[in-house]
Amino acid sequence: MSIKFNIIERGEPGVAGGGTKRFYASAQTTGNLGIEELTEQIERISTVSGADIRAVLYSIVDVVPQLLSNGNIVSIGDLGTFRVSISSEPSDTPEEVSAANIKKAKILFRPGKKFSSMLKTLEYKKA
């Protein structure tokens, strides 16, 4: 299988009027699969019932955010690792740094070995 890509034009970030425009490859998606489709795929390759698979997937969606909000790094085996990252405004001294400096938080995902290997072997085709 291969990833199809489109060509997009982008200007230079932070330059008035966009600056010099250049062309880039952008991955083209072929669809959006949800829990039902994921359940069906897992059901085909295992002996676990669809109801049990959905129960586990919904439980992960419920539990992982709770664990992350408590400051944990959550590792889900070969799937990968989730953790919270924050960005903040600078202060001149350590004493001035407080929760008010924090601008936003985001969730970082680090893929497991199988995902990393898959990324290294992808083939690409122009759409």
What is the structure's pLDDT at 13? Answer: 84
How confident is the prediction for the chain on average, in pLDDT? 95
Q: Which two tokens stand for residue 122?
A: 């992808």
Is residue 105 one of the residues assigned to a domain? yes
C-alpha torsion 111→117→120→122, nearest 10: -100
Is residue 84 one of the residues assigned to a domain? yes
Is residue 116 one of the residues assigned to a domain? yes
The pTM of the full predicted model, rounded to 2 decimals, is 0.79
Is residue 86 one of the residues assigned to a domain? yes
Query: What residues are paired with 74 via a beta bridge?
Result: 82
Which whole number is the average pLDDT over 81-97?
97
Sign of the torsion formed by the C-alpha atoms of 41, 42, 48 and 54: negative
Is residue 62 one of the residues assigned to a domain? no
At 70-81, the pLDDT tens digits run 999 999 999 999
Is residue 81 one of the residues assigned to a domain? yes
Q: Are 105 and 65 in contact (CB under 8 A)?
A: no
What phi and psi values does residue 120 have, to the nearest 5 degrees?
-75, -20
Which whole number is the average pLDDT over 23-31?
94
Q: How many domains does the chain have?
A: 1
Is residue 109 one of the residues assigned to a domain? yes
Percent residues over pLDDT 90 in the chain: 91
Which whole number is the average pLDDT over 33-56?
96
Range of the domain at 107: 73-91+99-121
At 100-122, the pLDDT tens digits run 999 999 999 999 999 999 999 99
Is residue 79 one of the residues assigned to a domain? yes
H or E, element range at 113: helix 113-120
Taking 80 as the threshold, does the pLDDT of residue 1 lie above it?
Answer: no
